[in-house]
Amino acid sequence: MKIKVLGCSGAEFPGHNPPAFLLDDDIVFDAGSLTNTLDASEQAKLKNIFITHAHLDHIRGISFLADNIIVAKRKQRVNIISIPSVLNTIKKNLLNDSLWPDFTMIPDYENAVLRYKAMKAGSLIRIRNYNIALHKVNHSVPAVGYLVEDGNKKSFFYTGDTGPTASTWEKIGDRKLNCLIIETSFPNKMRDMAVLTGHLTPQLLKEEIMKIKQMPEHIYITHPKPQHFKVIKAELERLKIKNLKLLKDGDIIRI
């Protein structure tokens, strides 16, 4: 498996892109950064976008991708996949023919460039040789993370935005993850804010990792607030957790 980090920031500043992770060439997890990081030929390969939750920094790229498909007159259909509440929020508040055109109806229903695919938390979808399962996480809005396993039993779990949770790790169970991509948004001094908004600090991250039955082989940190990046980085280093890395835009993860 090859995962390219298109964006991994918890806020937008120059040089810091919102979250999006490209698996191979055609599957994306979250869509905060698509058209600002992928050229036309790369955009044309996209087929499935898995959304963790409907906050703007995780969905905005859907809009511009759809517009680019129509303008280029490409015969490209992209599935937007998530739990029903997330898709309903996108439909009601983003692709609503007011804030942005409803590209699930353009150029017409049968040939629309976007298609919603609703799935229940706990369910699984197979795409090529990947099994992709949805697991609830603890955020300020309905949200899921994605557990991905290939035909060789290599796996990773992407949390999206999450605060402290026990049930998520109970669902993961005894599975040995080759890779955990998990958020850490705030420094330790902002613990109350993190818990209130459904996020983690380095200390909260340590507490989450202790809940996992088998230590992941590699832990990659996403979604730090750029305003607190240096402090978060230093606090993560002091944890002295083996094989932990703070991601940056453009990184490649190989599993």
Please write the tens of the pLDDT for every residue from 202-220: 999 999 999 999 999 999 9
Pick out the chain residues at pLDDT < 50. Answer: none
Q: Answer yes or no: are the C-beta atoms of 84 and 90 closer than 8 Å.
A: no
For residues 117 and 80, give the distance between their C-alpha atoms in angstroms, rounded to a whole number: 6
For residues 50 and 106, give the distance between their C-alpha atoms in angstroms, rounded to a whole number: 21
DSSP state of 19: P
**83: nearest Cα among 51, 59, 57:** 51
For residues 215 and 174, give the distance between their C-alpha atoms in angstroms, rounded to a whole number: 10
pLDDT at 84: 98
pLDDT at 170: 96
Radius of gyration of the chain (CA): 17
Q: Answer yes or no: are the C-beta atoms of 28 and 46 closer than 8 Å.
A: yes
Q: Would you call the peptide bond into 107 cis, given omega within 30 degrees of 0 as the criterion?
A: yes
- The token pair at 62 is 């859907």
Model confidence over 48-101: pLDDT tens digits?
999 999 999 999 999 999 999 999 999 999 999 999 999 999 999 999 999 999
Domains plus CATH for the chain?
Answer: 2-254 (3.60.15.10)
Threshold 0.85, pTM exceeds: yes
